[in-house]
Amino acid sequence: MSTLLVDGYNLIHSHPVLSRLMRSDMESAREGLLRELLPLASPDYYRTVLVVFDAAGWGGPEPMLEDRRGLVVVFTRRRQSADAFIEAAVRAMASVEEVTVATSDRILRRMVEGYGAGGVDGEALLEMAREARKEISAEAERLSGDRRVPLEERVSPEVRRMLDRMRYR
Residues constituting the chain:
169
Q: What percent of the chain has pLDDT over 90?
A: 55
- 91-110 pLDDT, tens digit each: 999 888 899 999 999 999 99
Q: How far apart are CA 72 and CA 51, in angstroms?
A: 6
| Cβ count near 135 (within 10 Å) | 14
Q: What are the sequence ranges of the domains in the chain?
A: 3-142
Q: How far apart are CA 141 and CA 135, in angstroms?
A: 10
Contact residues for 79 (Cβ-Cβ < 8 A; gap 6+)? 55
Question: What value does the mean pLDDT of the chain take?
Answer: 86
**SS3 of residue 168 by DSSP:** coil
- 65-91 pLDDT, tens digit each: 888 888 999 999 888 899 999 999 999
| 5-9, 65-69, 112-116, 140-144: segment of lowest average pLDDT | 140-144
- What is this structure's pTM? 0.79
Long-range CB contact pairs, 102-106, < 8 A, 24+? 102/4, 102/5, 102/6, 102/7, 102/11, 103/6, 103/7, 103/10, 103/11, 104/7, 104/10, 104/11, 104/13, 104/14, 105/7, 105/10
Question: CA Rg, the chain, in Å?
Answer: 22
- 40-67 pLDDT, tens digit each: 998 888 989 999 998 765 567 788 888 8
Greater confidence, 50 or 146? 50
